[in-house]
Amino acid sequence: MTDLHRLTIKELSNGLKQGDFSSRELTQHYLNRIAKIDPQVNSYVTVTPELALVQADAADVALHAGNAHPLTGIPLAHKDIFCTQGIRTSAGSKMLDNFISPYDATVVTKIKQANMVTLGKVNMDEFAMGSTTESSFYGATKNPWNLNHVPGGSSGGSSAVIAADLAPLATGTDTGGSIRQPASFCGLTGLKPTYGRVSRFGMIAFASSLDQAGPMGRSAEDCAYLMNVLAGHDDNDSTSAQHPVDDYISNLNQTSIQGLRIGIPKQYFNVDGLHIDVKNRVEDALKQLESMGAILVEVDLNMVESYVPTYYLIAPAEASSNLSRYDGVRFGYRCENPQDLNDLYKRSRSEGFGEEVKRRILIGTYALSAGYYDAYYVKAQKVRRLIQEDFLNAFTQVDVIAAPSAPTTAYKIGAALDPVEMYLGDLYTLAANLSGHPAINAPVGFDQHGLPVGLQLIGNYWSESQLLSVVHQYQQTTDWHSQRAEIAKENV
């Protein structure tokens, strides 16, 4: 079969169960596509063909025995931020170019337990700091819709593999938008769950109070399959929640669009820099939801101007602390011929980290330093609380809040935005991380150059089922999520 990569996760699951094709055939099909197409996209940092085929054979045994999980035998790619035992975990950094983890992240363990097949590890901005994948030690990943553009970031490898049909599903992480924005730039569905819904154990830390893992796929239905595996409490992560887990697949039709109250924050749609094509496509999608019975309600989210400054204090502060462990002693890059201990620390870190990571460490260390802690870090934490209260107040009036996922479509590679311009592009995604709310991106059309546009829906705590369900129903009446980039149409 030459078109296995066109099937949805549900179709793959049924096809495997019915024996229409084996997991080995499916896995080999993706490996062939990766070998042929990925040199143009640069989405994989590490491909693991031997391991993938071993896992595929084990999946085929489970499928024959009739004790398969719905995802058994289905391939996926991991963002290279999840520790994988025996396979390099680089976090897109020279610092970890030689790092092989002695254990699996909980997300990886759960995926193994479902007998999924891991095709490899995919590219990302260094330590997940960025919005383009250009800060990766392994070079930029290309957007499958137009190879001169970025796929978004930091989970840009995850979005590119799916958009080029080089994996049907991928894991991502989102500290300030890194699932939703790349999903938006590549025309995919991506869910950032409520903080604490998915375990962070074994996920290389960027900013621990903001980091959250989640699924990326073509549709809400595809994401629901993966979410069923990812969600749940983990004794190894004290911030993971005890809250009961939903069955995200059977809940796909649970929420009625009829009467659903969608909040439209007026401040979000009057932002300078919101591209007109993005605004129009998002408004079209909202009209579509309205025609399906949703009620659009204007809400106030007054703190919008504080999102970028608050996030860009808290995230670097936590990063400067988290990244202090890379000292050239215990693991990771070590400089050659250190003169003494100080020289070892200094040169290992200077040579091992890239420019953006160093910038964040500098900002964060400054904000946490004795003389500035109260003025910057403590102040930012207070503003963070106000942002959360703004959302809690809005959720007394509406069920979900709608926004663009990003003010623009995908940038050109090397557009050389200065750091602050780049940070401003995160405007719409940061608040859900600061407040801990779940949020999803759904593809809603294209700009005048054929680059995808995304709608973001933010929900109240633990409303992942509702978000997936709303997007699923929208996707029953539209086909943006199933459109393919030219490069994905190459038959291999």
CB of 412 to ligand GLN, least distance (A): 17
CB of 172 to ligand GLN, least distance (A): 9
Measured from the CB atom, is 13 or 171 closer to ligand GLN?
Answer: 171
Measured from the CB atom, is 307 or 480 closer to ligand GLN?
Answer: 307
CB of 329 to ligand GLN, least distance (A): 26
CB of 176 to ligand GLN, least distance (A): 3
Contacts with ligand GLN, residue ranges (CB under 6 A): 128-131, 154, 174-178, 206, 315, 426
- 178, 184, 405, 469: which is the annotated catalytic residue? 178
Measured from the CB atom, is 377 or 474 closer to ligand GLN?
Answer: 377
SS (H, E, C) the chain: CCCHHHCCHHHHHHHHHHCCCCHHHHHHHHHHHHHHHHHHHCCEEEECHHHHHHHHHHHHHHHHHCCCCCCCCCEEEEECCECECCEECCCCCHHHCCCECCCCCHHHHHHHHCCCEEEEEECCCHHHCCCCCCCCCCCCCCECCECCECCCCCCHHHHHHHHCCCCCCEEEECCCCCCHHHHHHHCCEEEECCCCCECCCCECCCCCCCCCEEEEECCHHHHHHHHHHHECCCCCCCCCCCCCCCCCCCCCCCCCCCCCEEEEEHHHHCCCCCCHHHHHHHHHHHHHHHHCCCEEEEECCHHHHHHHHHHHHHHHHHHHHHHHHCCCCCCCCCCCCCCCHHHHHHHHHHHHCCHHHHHHHHHHHHHHCCCCHHHHHHHHHHHHHHHHHHHHHHCCCCCEEEEECCCCCCCECCCCCCHHHHHHCCCCCHHHHHHCCCEEEEEEEECCCCCEEEEEEEECCCCHHHHHHHHHHHHHHCCHHHCCCHHHHCCC
Measured from the CB atom, is 391 or 423 closer to ligand GLN?
Answer: 423
- 154, 320, 405, 463: which is the annotated catalytic residue? 154
Q: Catalytic annotation on 178?
A: yes
Measured from the CB atom, is 206 or 326 closer to ligand GLN?
Answer: 206
Measured from the CB atom, is 29 or 180 closer to ligand GLN?
Answer: 180
CB of 299 to ligand GLN, least distance (A): 24
Q: Catalytic annotation on 79?
A: yes
CB of 79 to ligand GLN, least distance (A): 10
- 13, 79, 199, 320: which is the annotated catalytic residue? 79
The residues carrying an active-site annotation are 79, 154, 178
